[in-house]
Amino acid sequence: MTATIDERKARDVQGILLGLAMAVGAVCVACVLMLRYVETQLLDRSRLDLRHLRKYAESFFDKRGRYPSTEEGFQALVDVGLLEGLPEDPWGRRYHYRLEGDTPVFATYGRDGVPGGEGASSDLFMVGQPRTAPSPSNSHASGSGSEALYCPGPTQARH
């Protein structure tokens, strides 16, 4: 039995539609993979930024014998020329800083800008090493040179 012209046209259209559906599906998968890659890159940049901010705070400590207070925040680093401006995370929001006792804490709340979250919206924290000003009998500050700890989680930062 031979197929009529209409049946052949219908099969051709179905084949074209199937090919288009597969192409659209492939493009969607590629977009999802690209978004995951970009999110990973933004989180990596945030981690690097936090590491740099910790180093700048340690330089401030070396110059002033103390970390900036919570109230002074990153503005103190700008005032002494360690930063050119107030730092922003990859999503265009300011990084957070607080001083807990003698321990500086640096944070970003991720893509959504609010505490908590997962993936690109997860919070990233870097906790510096506590240091105190050197005493006359001790010429170096305690705790210097130690690597910071990354603490993702729902810890709430004070502003």
Task: List the single range of 5-14, 123-132, 144-153 with lowest mean pLDDT.
Answer: 144-153
Q: What is the pTM of this model?
A: 0.66
pLDDT band of 78, cuts 50, 70, 90: very high
Q: How much is the pLDDT for 158?
A: 36
pLDDT at 66 over 90: yes
pLDDT > 70: percent of the chain: 81
Average pLDDT, rounded, for the chain: 80
- What letters, b where the CB count within 10 A reaches 16 and e where it falls short, cover 9-37? eeeeeeeeeeeeeeeeeeeeeeeeeeeee
Task: Give residues with Cβ within 8 angstroms of 2, minimum separation 6.
Answer: none
Q: How much is the pLDDT for 152?
A: 43
Q: For residue 132, give the H/E element and its range.
A: none
Residue with tokens 């009998």: 137
Where are the domains positioned within the chain? 43-150
Q: How far is CA 29 from CA 17, 22, 32, 35, 103, in A?
A: 18, 11, 5, 10, 44
